[in-house]
Amino acid sequence: MARAQASGDLRADFAPTDLPLIFTGAGAVMDATRDVNPRLWERYLTMVLDGLRASAATPLPVGPLTAEQQFLLTPPDRRGPGRC
């Protein structure tokens, strides 16, 4: 990610905590359209990926999740041993 941002390919304000939510969104599209158009998720993922390009960047209205906020979104059974 740092190399892509340094080279100007990935928007500078993209954060590691953004990625799981992008996958969550793609998964929601997959679930909603699986029986009607099983490949529709590819359309929306492409739009999202195009929007991550630095050349397409516009200011974002809010900052990314903090690591703590991301952790709180993780279901307790997926947090790993010893983590609450």
Q: Is residue 43 part of a domain?
A: yes
Q: Is residue 62 part of a domain?
A: no
pLDDT in tens, 3-26: 999 999 999 999 999 999 998 999
Whole domain around residue 21: which residue ranges?
A: 2-56
pLDDT in tens, 38-63: 999 999 989 998 999 999 899 999 99
The total number of structural domains in the chain stands at 1
Residue 53 confidence (pLDDT): 94
Extract long-range pairs of 5-13: CB within 8 Å, 24+ residues apart.
Answer: 5/54, 8/54, 9/53, 9/54, 10/52, 10/53, 10/54, 11/52, 11/53, 11/54, 11/56, 11/57, 12/54, 12/57, 13/57, 13/60, 13/64
